[in-house]
Structure 1
């Protein structure tokens, strides 16, 4: 065997191994219940209670119902008591589990002492940090955002500060018991630098990095900490887009994402959203950065999404 034959054989072996590994990685995305099975008692073994922020509708509400269906009592937190009371009654009627209502506006500065008092002495096994907001319903350049100073403070309080404070409140109990799970809702837009969603996307990058670093710190304590980064889910934040292959219903997405809970410190939560994330990362950034793309995105939202005159949306 001459030198070049050896080089070609070695190259072929490397390529075969590379694509073999890719195939294995793709198989765990297709079959999460095979690769990362969750025992029937998994969630109740974490603790008696789950806490879900932004739980009056959308993804947060779906998480509250899914965890109650797994046998957990749930604390649902949002800013509108009437909506929370309705969700609490639905959870009790459909699952038989208890639902405790806590009213809090996470855009404000001084809500966490009250929340900590409400959660004191509770055996909290799961925390879902879901609450979040965008600056403007219609994507816009940073300086074009209405009421910029006020909106900036609200978004940082809601998307960044709340995440860290809720972990500070619930994590010590999990550490003491040596078990627990924290699910932090990020966004697919954190996968790329996306103009017109500048501050929102940056806040979700914080969610990713905070979650991944926190998992490294507390994994050995028996705690799962994961960032979940969906793309389009049919909620108020996305103007209730019609569901389909790429746009998932909240309950569909949540049930899928929970299957990936043991898959690592970050997941897109579904097969289709994982594929979208991979594709997004292959697109040259200059396409996103082009003025033409930005204009087309703004026009698309204005023309196709009802209710896009709203300035802010909280999920």
Structure 2
């Protein structure tokens, strides 16, 4: 698919440095779109941008921004104001493990900003542009923790649920327009963060057996773009969600998810 012809010249990936964000950058570049890459690690983004431009013959723009600071969006919007924007994906996320009351309030504020406020500001801004021009696409990234709830990681799960339900609703609102909106819900995904924290032995092997690559997740997202409002990545994750909803109570599902982090 020539994404540039369908949606516009530029796409923005919010949380682009590695993993799923990097895969989104590669995907839209392979579809002919120039890439706005936003994240905290500027040097890594510059290196990635050069690689993508060299490989796909597209332009790139790097914007350094900390999503925990909700004011960071002002710079993002200003630097993309004159560009023909046609795609947005919000991949950024932030979480802290521990009981709600044991987590410092400063961390809670950072999570709210990354997972809710900055997300909403970006979604609102670019949907406004896409709606006005009646052209564009959005793929936001949620997590299975947004379906199950996530004890000992509670605010993260709630934030991902916010992204999931808000994007699904907006996708329906946009269904009769030329703006395609979708949310993809990820399970275990092979990212640098996962590999860094992967347990050893059989537990780690089990995780890797069910995990998807970022590229697999992004490809599935684009395969469903314009066809469905919401997709769960991977057959394994789809079957697990169906099983839990059909054969277990909500309490059992929540308790199961909490068992991974309970000390």
Given the two structures, how large is their TM-score scaled by the length of structure 1? Answer: 0.75
Computed over aligned residues only, the root mean square deviation of the Cα atoms, in angstroms, reads 2.1
- How far is the alpha carbon of 1:244 from its aligned partner? 4.5
- Unmatched 5+ stretches in structure 2: 199-204
Partners of 1:280 and 1:194 in 2: how far apart?
15
SS at match of 1:171: helix
Output one character per residue of 1:64-84: Cα deviation in whole Å (capped at 9) or x when no partner: 011101111110000111111
Partners of 1:236 and 1:144 in 2: how far apart?
27
SS at match of 1:298: coil
- Does 1:165 pair with 2:121? yes
- Does 1:188 pair with 2:144? yes
Given the two structures, how large is their TM-score scaled by the length of structure 2? Answer: 0.89
- How far is the alpha carbon of 1:107 from its aligned partner? 0.3
Distance 1:289 1:233, change over 3 A: closer
Kept in 2: contact 1:180–1:223 (CA 8 A): yes
- Unmatched 5+ stretches in structure 1: 1-39, 303-315
Distance 1:293 1:62, change over 3 A: closer
Distance 1:261 1:111, change over 3 A: same
Output one character per residue of 1:128-176: Cα deviation in whole Å (capped at 9) or x when no partner: 011111123xxx321222xx21011100100111221112221222112
SS at match of 1:74: strand
Count, aligned residues: 254
Match of 2:251 among 283, 286, 296: 286
Distance 1:208 1:298, change over 3 A: closer
Kept in 1: contact 2:150–2:156 (CA 8 A): no
Partners of 2:254 and 2:93 in 1: how far apart?
25
Kept in 1: contact 2:70–2:117 (CA 8 A): no
Match of 1:144 among 97, 102, 107: 102
Distance 1:76 1:232, change over 3 A: same
Of structures 1 and 2, the larger Rg is shown by 1
